[in-house]
Amino acid sequence: MKILGISGSPRRGGNTDLLLDEVMKGAASRGAEVKTIILNELDITHCQHCDACYRAGRCTINDDMQTVYRELERADRLVLASPVHFLGPTAQMKAMIDRCQALWARKYILKIPPLGDRRERKGLFVSVGALKMANLFEPSLAIVKALFTVLDITYAGEMVFRGIDEKGIITKHPDALRRAFFAGQELVDN
């Protein structure tokens, strides 16, 4: 089983990365092959809404998103990890999601599987946010769930933590890292 983690955090080694690392360690402990993509290290141009993907079923922009498409196709499980910025995922994550318009075109315009086949895939969302408001994650969850629907990925749940801002503070949360590790195991087991 192949697990793909995608970090949308611009801050390396921050709270989101720490949680994603634990999810991936949990998955690896169950024998999964794991790979993590750090979006902030890639060159991904924003979607230009040129609609070329409506004809070709692929994005014609030749940048690092082409690698992300290949990894999405290979993955059996997907873990998206992004802190909340202004109630949504980071710009890095949103740019990647918007570039999945080519996969939307495959599914809804060209009527072919968005990730190349119809095998069962599942996805998890991991996020932290500084605010403590009750609906802090709702906008991000709506975006992530929409992406998973387009990609034919079954939503397996989320791990979200409010009131987390200072770099590394998640390590002081009583059970966040342990829960993340178990979530990775569960993603493989189920």
Query: Does 2-189 carry CATH code 3.30.70.3040?
Result: no
| 3-class secondary-structure state, position 152 | coil
In the chain, where the domains are located: 2-189
Q: Is the dihedral of CA 31, 155, 105, 98 positive or negative?
A: negative
- What CA–CA distance (Å, rounded) separates 141 from 110? 27
The predicted-structure confidence for 11-65, as pLDDT tens digits, reads as follows: 999 999 999 999 999 999 999 999 999 999 999 999 999 999 999 899 999 999 9
The predicted-structure confidence for 101-134, as pLDDT tens digits, reads as follows: 999 999 999 999 999 999 999 999 999 999 999 9
The predicted-structure confidence for 125-176, as pLDDT tens digits, reads as follows: 999 999 999 999 999 999 999 999 999 999 999 999 999 999 999 999 989 9
Maximum Cα–Cα distance across the chain? 51
Q: With the CA atoms of 143, 144, 150 and 154 taken in that order, what torsion angle do they form, in degrees rounded to the nearest 10?
A: -150
In this structure, the chain runs to a length of: 190
Tell me the whole-structure pTM to 2 decimals.
Answer: 0.96
- Average pLDDT of the chain to the nearest whole number: 97
Q: Cα 82 vs. chain centroid, distance in angstroms?
A: 7
